[in-house]
Amino acid sequence: MTPYEINRAIAKEAGWAFDKSDDMWNGPNGEEESRCPCFYDELDLIQAVLLKEPQEVRNNMCHVLFDMGLRFVCDLLVATAAQRCEAYLKVKGLWKV
């Protein structure tokens, strides 16, 4: 998946929606952005999404990150934003090859 596709998939999963009438992204808490949030590059944005997920999702992400080659005690702590995005989408069944 491209960074663009990754950001859109996570945005939709996190409750963001694109409004064609005003060309804006509307967030789950009333936020409005002219661009899709950039989860792929910004660790704080993807981390905010992950903290809202059940512990089971984060645990499953650690297994996916291990399969991706990270070999630390808790892979989620050292994973980049891009790696977290990929693992998140794989756990959610939204990763496209």
Tens of pLDDT, residues 5-17: 999 999 999 999 9
Is the confidence at residue 25, as pLDDT, over 70?
Answer: yes
Tens of pLDDT, residues 31-66: 999 999 999 999 999 999 999 999 999 889 988 988
- Domains of the chain, residue spans: 3-92
Whole-number mean pLDDT of the chain? 92
Longest CA–CA span in the chain (Å) reads 47
The Cα 7–Cα 38 span in angstroms is 6
